[in-house]
């Protein structure tokens, strides 16, 4: 009894998770898609370059990033690029209203409970993970400014050229 109580107490103290680093395998996930509700995840995009973008309607920089990412995605989709957006709004209606204003053509997944950002240990909002064709994290981008876009584009094109 005593021992189990102690164990429970110490477990409560050590709940820190390990952050995902560059070069590591991207943690898998499966989440419902906004709209159809169908579950989808990274595994569907094996062999493609995926830009996993964590966003929320209340996040200021996302107003800029979503339209710009949408443009990049539409430009490079045929070359094997996809954006997977993970929305972290606690209320999905907020996300829907935001997307009405800033529509995107890439899939938006819903994680209102924030389980996947916990797994990825997001340092801030928004954060994006560029994932190469092998499913490894190639780059992590924290925050967003319009001026970041040319570099993101360059990085994506470089990853698309890899085998």
Partner 1 sequence: MMKSILTIALVASLSACTTVKPWERGYLAKNTMQGSPIAQKSALDRHVFFAKEGASGGGKAAGGGCGCN
Q: Contact positions toward partner 1, by CB under 8 A?
A: 2, 5-6, 8-10, 12-13, 54, 56-61, 88-91, 94, 114, 117-118, 122-127, 142-144
Q: Half-sphere exposure of residue 45, counting CA atoms within 13 Å on the CB side?
A: 27
Least CB distance to partner 1 at residue 11 (A): 8
Both tokens of 77, joined, read 């989709």
Task: State the residue for tokens 């950002």.
Answer: 117
User: Is 9 or 147 the residue whose CB approaches partner 1 more closely?
Assistant: 9
Report, in Å, the least distance between residue 118 CB and partner 1: 8
Residue 48 is classified by DSSP as S
Rounded to 10 degrees, what is the CA torsion of 108, 43, 131, 116? 60
Q: Which is nearer to partner 1, 4 or 36 (CB)?
A: 4
Task: Rank residues 62 and 159 by Cβ distance to partner 1 and give the closer one.
Answer: 62
Provide the minimum distance between the beta carbon of 101 and partner 1 in the complex, in angstroms, as a whole number: 17
Distance (Å, whole) CA 37 – CA 103: 18
Please, what is the minimum distance in Å from the beta carbon of residue 58 to partner 1?
A: 4
What the block records as the tokens of 69 is: 């990412």
């Amino acid at each position: 009894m005593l021992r189990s109580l102690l164990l429970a107490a110490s477990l409560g103290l050590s709940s820190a998770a390990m952050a995902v680093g560059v070069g590591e395998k991207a943690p898998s996930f499966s989440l419902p898609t906004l709209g159809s509700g169908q579950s989808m995840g990274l595994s569907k995009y094996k062999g493609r370059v995926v830009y996993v973008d964590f966003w929320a309607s209340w996040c200021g920089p996302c107003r800029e990033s979503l339209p710009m990412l949408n443009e990049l995605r539409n430009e490079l989709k045929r070359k094997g690029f996809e954006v997977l957006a993970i929305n972290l709004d606690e209320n999905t209606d907020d996300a829907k209203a935001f997307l009405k204003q800033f529509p995107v053509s890439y899939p938006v997944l819903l994680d209102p409970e924030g389980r996947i950002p916990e797994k990825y240990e997001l340092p801030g909002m928004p954060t994006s993970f560029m994932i190469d064709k092998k499913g490894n994290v190639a780059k992590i981008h924290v925050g967003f400014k319009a001026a970041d876009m040319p570099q993101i584009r360059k990085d994506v094109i470089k990853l698309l050229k890899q085998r």
